[in-house]
Amino acid sequence: MREIKKKKKPIYLLAPELKWRVFKELQDKLVRDSGPVPVHGDKILWQMMRDRKIYCWFDFVKFPNDMGVGIKLPKNREIKVITNGRKG
């Protein structure tokens, strides 16, 4: 009998082109208070992501109430990209 592989849940990568308004709305709704945060820390993260210096993503398995930030993405995971969407 074949082994059944568990399908890993995807991570949701924020696109570097994401507008500040969308980034802030996602962060406000999905990130729960996790301690002290520098003033304008969210704006700094968005600017670094926009300049392609870091990646920002949501991983509801490892970080259920937080946003992942790093210079490398997790391996062996499906990646879904969150963009601004379309108007119209």
pTM of the full structure: 0.82
Considering only residues 2 and 75, tell me which one the structure prediction assigns the higher pLDDT.
75
Confirm if 11 and 61 have CB atoms less than 8 A apart: no
- For CA atoms 39, 45, 46, 47, the dihedral sign is positive
- Domain spans of the chain? 11-82
Q: Report the pLDDT value the prediction gives residue 68, as an integer from 0 to 100.
A: 92
Q: Report the pLDDT value the prediction gives residue 86, as an integer from 0 to 100.
A: 72
Q: Report the pLDDT value the prediction gives residue 23, as an integer from 0 to 100.
A: 94
Quick one: pLDDT band at residue 41, thresholds 50, 70, 90? confident
In the predicted model, what is the mean pLDDT of residues 46-58? 96
